[in-house]
Structure 1
Amino acid sequence: MSRRKFVDIGLNLRNFSVDILEKLLSFLKGLGYSGFSTRLIVQCGEDLGKVLEIRDVLRSVSERVGLEYISRVDIVSNRKGFIKLCLRSIRRSFELVAIGTSSLEVARFAARDRRVDIVYFTSGSRRLLDDVECRMLSEGGKLLELSLSKLLLDISKYFATYRYVVEMCSEYGVNIVFTSGASSVHELRAPRELASVLVALGLPVERALDAVSDIVWKVVEVNRKKLRGIIVAEGVEVVGKEKEEKVRSSEGTE
């Protein structure tokens, strides 16, 4: 059996200095992670250039630490028009696109739009994850994100909600991704600790481990191929292009 590549794609590291970032990512690596991502939230009217600058800093620091950085952008809004506008301008710049919302209309839109990879709900309401939403998420191959930091904010409120989410996702075959939501070293958790929380919520052990490893990498691998032009349409891959890239890369290092 191949060794799992654990990943935490829900860190909150936007306002950190480079020195603190290096220490935090080094600690993350020591916990057994191979990769990470952080929420870069696009605000209404914000200059996308600033978000791209932060992305590039994160990539640079991650290379020094020896962790694989997965570029992620979050659009948090209940306005479908704003989300559509953002998607047109950012999809080609990031490997993962996440939508956070408390709107049923936006939840439906995010579940069916091919440019969206991850969906999460900003409220604790169960009404957003009904049978229709679950079916759409499953058919669209979306990841539904749950966060430990949110659970710890109010365990009495969110534990029952998260159990409901796990039950619904299991019934409809929706893939869950579980993140720490950490904004400091003290909030980071080892990957198997995160997985154990999902087990307590009712998810089988192997699926819980997948939620902090394989499920994310599968989506990232496909998206990276799309960004490089290897996958040109849904299910259509340019034969030989990836091999050519590897040859050019090896020639450049000689």
Structure 2
Amino acid sequence: MFRAILVLTVLVLLISSLTVPTYYSTGHASTQSSSPPILGGWGGTKLADTAQNTTAPASLVFPGERQSNFEQVAMRQFQLGYNTIRVSFAPHCSVQYGLNIYSTPQNFMSDYNSGELARAIQIAQRFNLWLVVDYHGYADFTNSTLVYCWLKFWFGPDSSESGPTGVVGAFMNSYKRIVWEPLNEPDSSTFPATLCQSPTANPSQCDDNRTAYMSTQYQSWLNMDRKMGDTSWVVVQNLCSYGCYKPRTQYYLDYPIVNDTALHVFES
């Protein structure tokens, strides 16, 4: 499949170490003219970290409160010259179905809370930081039930966890420096088994099938996001971010192929 590829060096924090994602122009006609921002920072903070720490100094953001751990981390990053902070929360759908075996307890990264995300946004605004909003999951592409739950969480309608228009509908107009990370690191071993029936005989075909499947899920997410009118930057993950069969020299073949009308996609 043909697509024009524009590779730019961009620093986006996706875990508690620096990574270098790549920006891909899909070649789709668009009126967007903005260049990819240069982002640098550190992660590891959770939504729950936005609650005030009663032993901390006075908050610079919330009058009458003490600084939260999140505010202290954000301020320190700002002082060091970084411009990005990542805030994570537990993957609602894979936790709900008991599949988030990567954490103990499964909601270790803290359950999603719209009030806490609002506080994280206010803190990021105070320090003019980009905010990467991370659904910290791995197994949410397991099957159509999980994918439906995942999309509903982000966009609604009427999600019991994230509201009538999901996370995106609630916050897409609240801050211009939001970066959505729809799924932390898709674990391809949780994908439908039919995608990889001969891992020993044909491992590369397994990767190709899984990358195509993953691309479809990300494309669905982007389609719903842009239909809502959101133009925020979005992070999609390489299959090998969690694990793949290809050698390191061929990891580039496992980037998801997506078509974004806003041309605002980071591939990590």
| Length-normalised TM-score, structure 1 | 0.44
